[in-house]
Amino acid sequence: MKWTLSQLQKYRNKEFLIDEIVRFDELMQDDSNIRDVSPMHITGRVDIDPSKVTFHLKINGYLILPCSRTLVDVKFPINVETTETFLLQDTVYETDEEAHQVKGDVIDLKPVIREILLLEVPMQVFCDDDVVSEDAAPQSGKDWEVIHEESESGKIDPRLAGLAKFFDKNHSSSES
């Protein structure tokens, strides 16, 4: 995922396609929540101009993250499309996208892709409710259990049951 500018200039008027599988094991040191990283399949094409190099990339793979509720491993799919532009000269380039300045004569995509992958890590991820594992955090104990919002949505707090009757009386008197 590293090219010199002279290597890229050879493809200026030709089609330059990318199809590589790259490991990003260093993501586990960058974010302690990431338990494992699959090899990422990176595909795309490169547009080479005299003043800039633009990479149109698709990144596919998955991360293993802990479930926020049970701490069980969850396979979180990564499917990202991105466009990364590298400026070859110190020129002003106006676009909605962020542009990277080339330092030296080498373009290295790996740090840019690593940053994109770190931004894809969600704050919380949840496993399926039917997954039961010995490694999972307990879901009930003595005098407590984890409740789900769906099971509590239809229940009326008994302290407020009288208030519902008040509105029924008020509504019927306004109709007459």
Q: What is the mean pLDDT of residues 36-61?
A: 91
Report d(CA 154, CA 19) in Å as an integer. Answer: 52
Contacts of 75-79 spanning 24+ positions with Cβ under 8 A: 76/121, 76/122, 76/125, 78/40, 78/117, 78/120
Single out the residue of 41, 39, 2 nearest to residue 24, CA to CA.
39
Higher pLDDT, 143 or 55: 55
Give the amino acid at 147: I
Q: What is the mean pLDDT of residues 66-71?
A: 84
Give the amino acid at 18: I
CB atoms within 10 A of CB 106: 12
Residue 175 scores a pLDDT above 60: no
Going by DSSP bridges, is the β-strand pair 140-141/144-145 parallel, antiparallel, or unpaired? Answer: antiparallel
Report the range out of 39-48, 63-72, 144-153, 157-166 with the highest average pLDDT: 39-48
Q: Quick one: pLDDT at residue 23?
A: 93
Residue 91 scores a pLDDT above 80: no
139 close to 70: Cβ distance less than 8 angstroms: yes
Range name among 45-54, 72-81, 105-114, 150-159 with the lowest pLDDT average: 150-159
> What pLDDT, in 10s, does the model give residues 95-139?
556 777 777 788 888 999 999 999 999 988 887 765 555 666 666
Measured on CA atoms in the order 153, 155, 158, 163, is the torsion positive or negative?
positive
